[in-house]
Amino acid sequence: MRKRAILAFMLDRPGVLNKVSLLIRKKMYNVDTLTVCRSRIPGVSRMTITLEEKDEAKVTQVIKQLEKFTEVISAKELDTDHSYWREVAIVKLEVDVAHLDAFHGRYNFEILEQKSEDIHLLQVSGSTRNIDAFLDELGQEHIIEIARTGVTAMEK
């Protein structure tokens, strides 16, 4: 399987997200992440959908069907070599400061709050692979709670 990102611009209208979700569900895809935000154009949203699919034809079919929706302005797949894919995670963990210091310089994180001597809230940003590596190296036994944004992507 190959990780794919579809970028779509659509009108801000009720029910559009549901229509997109139903289309993808009908095609039996499992969406990895779905992020939506405002674009620089008033009344238009930007949606990034990531999924796992090796078949180019299936991804092309989803894009063509997305473009048939009257609310969709444009949709296309982003090439991994010509785009940036990023994610943010907020992690509550139980670990001492000395343990965290070992990660500085290797991972992009910021301490948001120190709740107690050993309880910290961090913001980690970067590629999904980088965040996963940070969490793996940190160790599941130290993680109390985690919230991830999902991938957002932009062409270079």
Q: Give the domain CATH number at 100.
A: 3.30.70.1150
Q: What is the pLDDT of residue 23?
A: 86
- Asked if pLDDT for residue 88 goes beyond 90, the answer is yes
- Asked if pLDDT for residue 94 goes beyond 80, the answer is yes
Do 74 and 101 have their domain in common? no
Distance CA 4, CA 52 (A): 6
Contact residues for 118 (Cβ-Cβ < 8 A; gap 6+)? 94, 95, 96
Query: End of a domain among 30, 56, 78?
Result: 78
% of the chain with per-residue pLDDT over 70: 100
Distance CA 111, CA 123 (A): 6
| Confidence class for position 154, pLDDT limits 50, 70, 90 | very high
Q: Give the domain CATH number at 41.
A: 3.30.70.260
| Confidence class for position 4, pLDDT limits 50, 70, 90 | very high
Please give the mean pLDDT across all residues of the chain: 91
The tally of domains found in the chain comes to 2
- Asked if pLDDT for residue 28 goes beyond 80, the answer is no
- Asked if pLDDT for residue 2 goes beyond 90, the answer is no
Is the pTM for the entire model greater than 0.85? no
Candidates 143, 116, 115; CA nearest to 124 is 143
| Confidence class for position 77, pLDDT limits 50, 70, 90 | very high
Do 101 and 53 have their domain in common? no
CB 85 within 8 A of CB 153: yes
Please write the tens of the pLDDT for every residue from 103-153: 888 999 999 999 988 999 999 999 999 999 999 999 999 999 999 999 999
